[in-house]
Chains A and B, each alone.
Chain A
Amino acid sequence: DIVMTQSPDSLPVSLGERASIRCRSNQSLFYDTNKLNYLAWYQQRPGHPLKLLIYWASTRQFGVPDRFIGSGSETEFTLTIANLQPEDVAIYYCQQYLSTSGYTFGQGTRLEIK
């Protein structure tokens, strides 16, 4: 399995400030044939299912505010949330979908208001 590791586990950020969540894979998620990184970011609010935010590492899902920015390539990725809002309090997960052995998630980063 491709192992996904996120940091930090918990991230307190003040309202209006920027949050950065890192995700590292133990294998490159870049597929040379189509020049795409097979990585997604999800948000999970308490009591809610996973919500897709970003796919192909940097493509924002329709309707997701442009405060959410995905970046990175190969094995190092970042989700940046600018101008933190109260509704952003959630757990964030990265997911790789490159491996035919199965898709795997990071352990999650809990974003909270400082």
Chain B
Amino acid sequence: QAHLIQSGPEVKSPGASVTISCRPSGDTFTRHYIHWVRQALRQGPEWMGIMNPRTDERTSAQRFRPRVTMLSDTSMKTVYFTLRGLKPEDTAVYYCVEAEGVLYFGEDDDSWGQGTQVTVS
């Protein structure tokens, strides 16, 4: 079901930044929004933000807002998620999810990236 391609695993030191890229396996994004979700080992999901790759519309969860940047390139074929000031508790698998909806995701036509393991140590 992974129709989005994410960048590879990252190992970072505390205080560093990480940037994850996400692009469609086809020519372009087909749904309206990209959600960013992370999941630490044996933990529940954590929603981090949402962006529209075609516009400047984006917002992140308030608790991450000072540390998160979400961008799309001018061709709208790749989106980027940056998390700054990394802490050990940011260790998780980060997913991009292409979805039609703003409020929820995970419908059958939504696409997921394969996940990017970020380890902060």
Contact = CB atoms under 8 A, between A and B. Distances in A.
A63 B45 contact: no
Interface residues of B, number: 24
Contacts, number: 63
Nearest to A54: B104
Contact of B47 (A48, A62, A100, A105): A105
Contact of A52 (B47, B60, B107): B107
27 contacts: A1-B62, A49-B1, A49-B95, A49-B97, A50-B37, A50-B45, A51-B106, A52-B104, A52-B106, A52-B110, A61-B107, A62-B107, A93-B44, A95-B47, A95-B104, A97-B104, A100-B59, A102-B60, A102-B61, A102-B64, A103-B47, A103-B104, A104-B46, A104-B47, A106-B44, A107-B43, A108-B44
Interface of B: 1, 37, 43-48, 59-64, 95, 97, 103-108, 110, 112
